[in-house]
């Protein structure tokens, strides 16, 4: 809601100016303060059930890897075919060792995450400037303000979740595709990469068009 209202508040005239950034930033700030007070009130009234963690899972994860590595070095000559993490089962248990192995197997999937989020967060900066160079018309004379482009993402998420869960995924599974969460993540990441490329091409075309229009106005 804040993403939708803030651009509209910005267009209001105030303080002898055509735009009102104090109001646009003040309302979200006020809503954040109210949200913090609500959470604090719930904690003070004991409305939350808070369970303290018994152990640090991150420390245990790396301890399992380090212990497995040390033990594997000691027994390497006895059983060279054994997996390194298996040597940590005596101390951490087979279940935790299995979970550690599963995390390590999918860890490479997180390598492109910094690149993804660096590009995705451009919707709050560069993509707004890109939208300013477009007319923003949806239908008729109804236009979407450049600042409101970010609003499309949560609406698409809410709208497409049931479509994919009850339509797209079952259809692909019948064809023998997208059966596991890992396959869905890879497919989604690939499509996100394609969308970033399309956005980049659009930005280049807009810059060329803007340069040509500026050149024509000059001469």
- Sequence-ordered list of residues with C-beta below 8 angstroms from that of 17, at least 6 positions apart, any chain: none
Strands (DSSP E) found in the chain? 137-139, 142-143
Q: CA-to-CA distance for 60 and 42, rounded, in angstroms? A: 32
Q: Which residue has the tokens 């692909």?
A: 172
Rounded to two decimals, the pTM is 0.63
Q: Which residues pair with 125 in a beta bridge?
A: none
Residue of 72, 202, 82, 71 whose CA lies nearest to 149: 202
- Sequence-ordered list of residues with C-beta below 8 angstroms from that of 130, at least 6 positions apart, any chain: 199, 202, 203, 206
Q: CA-to-CA distance for 202 and 67, rounded, in angstroms? A: 51
CA 53, chain centre distance (Å): 26
CA 73, chain centre distance (Å): 40
Q: Are 64 and 100 in contact (CB under 8 A)?
A: yes
Q: Please report how the helices 57-74 and 94-106 are oriented relative to each other, as an axis angle in degrees rounded to 10.
A: 100
- Sequence-ordered list of residues with C-beta below 8 angstroms from that of 78, at least 6 positions apart, any chain: none
pLDDT tens across the length of the chain (219 residues): 666 677 777 777 787 777 787 877 888 888 889 999 998 888 888 888 878 778 888 999 999 999 988 888 877 656 556 688 888 888 898 999 999 998 888 887 788 888 888 888 887 778 888 887 887 777 777 777 777 777 778 888 889 999 998 998 999 988 888 888 888 888 888 898 899 999 889 888 888 776 656 545 544
**The two three-digit tokens of residue 25, written as one number:** 């930033």
The predicted pLDDT at position 16 comes to 78
């Amino acid at each position: 809601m804040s993403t939708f209202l803030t651009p509209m508040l910005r267009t209001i005239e105030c303080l002898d100016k055509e735009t009102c950034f104090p109001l646009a930033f003040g309302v979200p700030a006020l809503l954040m303060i109210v949200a913090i007070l609500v959470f604090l009130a719930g904690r003070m009234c004991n409305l939350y059930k808070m369970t303290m963690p018994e152990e640090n899972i991150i420390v245990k994860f790396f301890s399992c890897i380090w212990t497995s590595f040390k033990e594997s070095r000691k027994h390497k000559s006895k059983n060279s075919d054994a997996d390194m993490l298996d040597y940590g089962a005596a101390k951490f248990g087979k279940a935790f060792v299995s979970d550690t192995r599963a995390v390590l197997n999918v860890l490479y999937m997180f390598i492109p995450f910094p690149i993804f989020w660096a590009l995705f967060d451009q919707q709050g900066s560069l993509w707004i400037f890109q939208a300013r160079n477009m007319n923003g018309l949806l239908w008729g004379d109804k236009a979407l303000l450049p600042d409101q482009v970010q609003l499309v993402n949560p609406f698409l998420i809410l709208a497409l979740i049931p479509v994919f869960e009850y339509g797209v995924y079952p259809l692909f599974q019948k064809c023998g595709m997208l059966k596991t969460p890992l396959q869905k993540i890879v497919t989604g990441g690939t499509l996100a990469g394609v969308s970033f490329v399309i956005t980049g091409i659009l930005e280049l075309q807009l810059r060329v068009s803007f340069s040509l229009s500026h050149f024509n106005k000059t001469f």
